Amino acid sequence: MTGRLFEKAAVITGAGRGIGYATARLFAREGARLGLIDRDATGLEQSVKQLAAEFPSAVIHWSQADIAEHRTITPAIDTLAAALGRLDILVNNAAARAFGPVADATPESWTEVLQTNVTGYAMCSRAALPYLRRSGAASIVNVASVFAIAGRSNMGQYDASKAAILSLTRVLACEEAGHGIRVNAVCPGSTWTPWTYGRAQARGMSLEDLKAKGAVPCLLGRWAEADEIAFPILWLASDEASFITGVALPVDGGLTAI
């Protein structure tokens, strides 16, 4: 451990697996005190047990909540901030996905995706801001997507919601700079997580074929590992990025350079 987040208090949504879990694990390694949120209580509890076993001295609190439900997410963040005694970092990571062309998307599907990916991020931020403002040097990191910048077919609802997150990031950066809060976004490319495993069957591919061929082409020619997204999140959350706000950082293996 190098202590890059020593004694910082961080809330991470979607922390039960994938990028959220990789971020929680990295933050724990770097000395942060954690408040973890996921809508899957069983998966989150198991992840917390794994983190506690690996980092026995870490301070870890957790709460089951769905970011799409403001009546539960606000009390969850209040409870975690109280347990941690302060809040310095918010990582908005939880997300909803939908597949298919825009021509086939229903109003109900749009509502579900936007309620989580846009309204959910906004409500998490609103709940956290009173605590973050007291920090004096706080950071919000929003997990967007490289496909908020680059186009592709069949995920228009998800990608449009992630583009909205970039706008939300810039607006919050403007509004909260006077309170000492930096707000940035990371934009991952194709990332190998437990969620992508489930896509193998839906796409009629074996895990081996999915890993070899399923990523959107990029210069590095492979999937990202979850840790490769977590490290940029760590950097933006840390004081090392103290003069960076309002930025959307592609972490995409060079996809946006093509």
Are 67 and 116 in contact by the 8 Å Cβ rule? The answer is: yes
- What are the backbone dihedrals phi and psi of residue 14, each rounded to the nearest 5 degrees, phi first? 60, 40
d(CA 58, CA 254): 35
Helix, coil or strand: residue 220: coil
Q: Return the residue matching tokens 């077919």.
A: 153
Angle at 162 between CA 251 and CA 167, to 5 degrees: 100
121 catalytic per annotation: no
- What kind and span of H or E run contains 44? helix 41-54
> Taken in order 130, 132, 133, 134, is the CA torsion positive or negative?
positive
**Which of these is catalytic: 121, 131, 158, 197?**
158
Residues forming the active site: 158
